[in-house]
């Protein structure tokens, strides 16, 4: 799904909470405003994140300090609700986080004053607290992911690869990479029967059809490693994974590949594997 998070989308949402009929009005009178205000994205913003912050942004439109504070609250709500993989770099510092954002989304951080240097002013200290809050949120997410790894498929994949390598009489061990880096786009690095390195993203699915979420970071990694990239989907209580190779994965992702553009935002995508191994 293409869902742009931008200055114009927020402006559109602000206009919609003022007048929910504005889209139809502009269709009749000012067609160019449809593009300018990105009303489709604005409607989606209100649906996903609620209208409270947009009403407040309108109320304090001419009070820069309060406006920026409300915008920071909205950005935090977006990041915490979406849990896009980019946030895992926040504890490392904003200079590691910002390059992963689209140009349009990055502009909102500037508008909210989130790229200000931290001094002793009241707003600067609020910005400091904002980053500390987000860093703590992300660290807790990482802890949860590590604690749940035995259930989410990573430990199963790690054990599966240990057994596989032993049966193939390969004197090598798989490496659990995601423990140290959540942004690699894969969890386990192992070996195939020809001693080629392979990179495995682990997924656990509680649904019989094997449905799972797949991120743009994982897709970027898959395109880099190509035929050495695999997804192991652990479906319910199955004792072996549904293995998806790069060729099959490409069939699911081709229509979304064009979304990975400079000014586009790609959340996790849902994939339902076809057939069985």
Round to whole Å and give the CA distance between 128 and 107: 18
Tens digit of each residue's pLDDT (9 = 90 or more) over 87-96? 988 998 898 8
Secondary structure percentages of the chain, helix, strand, coil, to 5: 55, 10, 30
263 φ, ψ to 5°?
A: -110, 30
Tens digit of each residue's pLDDT (9 = 90 or more) over 202-215? 998 888 889 888 88
pLDDT at 262: 45
Residues 24, 114: one domain? Answer: yes
Residues 49, 85: one domain? Answer: yes
Residues 72, 171: one domain? Answer: no
* Structural domain count of the chain: 2
Tens digit of each residue's pLDDT (9 = 90 or more) over 213-246? 888 788 989 999 999 999 999 988 788 999 999 9
Does any domain span residue 1?
Answer: no
Q: Please identify, among 147, 170, 205, the residue that sits at the C-terminal boundary of a domain.
A: 147
Does any domain span residue 276?
Answer: no
- Asked whether the predicted pLDDT for residue 35 surpasses 70, the reply is no
For the packed helices 39-49 and 52-59, what is the interaxial angle rounded to 10 degrees? Answer: 120
Q: Residue 70 is inside which H or E element, if any?
A: helix 64-82
pLDDT at 240: 92
Residues 24, 135: one domain? Answer: yes
Residues 173, 214: one domain? Answer: yes
Considering only CA atoms, give the Rg of the chain: 22
Q: Please identify, among 107, 123, 147, the residue that sits at the C-terminal boundary of a domain.
A: 147
Residues 80, 169: one domain? Answer: no
Q: Please identify, among 147, 177, 204, the residue that sits at the C-terminal boundary of a domain.
A: 147
Residues 222, 259: one domain? Answer: yes
Work out the percent of the chain whose per-residue pLDDT is above 70.
84
Residues 135, 173: one domain? Answer: no
Name the residue range of residue 66's domain: 7-147
Residues 159, 264: one domain? Answer: yes
Distance of CA 136 to the CA centre of its chain: 18
- Enumerate residues 6+ apart whose C-beta is below 8 A from 139: 91
């Amino acid at each position: 799904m293409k869902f742009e998070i931008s200055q114009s989308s927020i402006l559109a949402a602000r206009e919609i909470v003022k007048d929910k009929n504005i889209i139809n009005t502009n269709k009749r009178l000012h067609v160019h405003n449809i593009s300018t205000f990105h009303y489709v994205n604005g409607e989606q913003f209100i649906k996903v994140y609620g209208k409270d912050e947009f009403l407040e942004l309108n109320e304090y439109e001419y009070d820069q300090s309060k406006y920026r504070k409300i915008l920071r609250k909205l950005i935090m709500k977006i990041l915490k609700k979406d849990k896009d993989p980019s946030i895992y770099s926040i504890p490392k510092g904003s200079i590691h986080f910002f390059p992963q954002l689209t140009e349009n989304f990055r502009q909102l951080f500037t508008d909210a004053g989130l790229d200000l240097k931290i001094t002793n002013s009241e707003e600067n200290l609020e910005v400091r607290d904002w980053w500390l809050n987000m860093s703590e949120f992300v660290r807790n997410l990482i802890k949860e992911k590590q604690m749940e790894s035995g259930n989410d498929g990573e430990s199963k994949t790690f054990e599966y690869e240990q057994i596989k390598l032993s049966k193939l009489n390969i004197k090598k061990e798989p490496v659990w990479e995601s423990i140290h880096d959540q942004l690699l786009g894969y969890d386990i690095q192992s070996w195939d029967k020809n001693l080629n390195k392979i990179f495995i993203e682990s997924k656990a699915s509680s649904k019989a059809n094997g449905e799972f979420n797949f991120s743009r970071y994982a897709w970027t990694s898959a395109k880099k490693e190509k035929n050495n990239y695999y997804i192991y989907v652990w479906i319910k209580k199955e004792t072996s994974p549904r293995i998806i190779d790069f060729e099959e994965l490409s069939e699911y992702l081709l229509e979304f590949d064009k979304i990975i553009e400079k000014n586009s935002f790609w959340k996790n995508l849902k994939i339902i594997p076809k057939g069985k191994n």
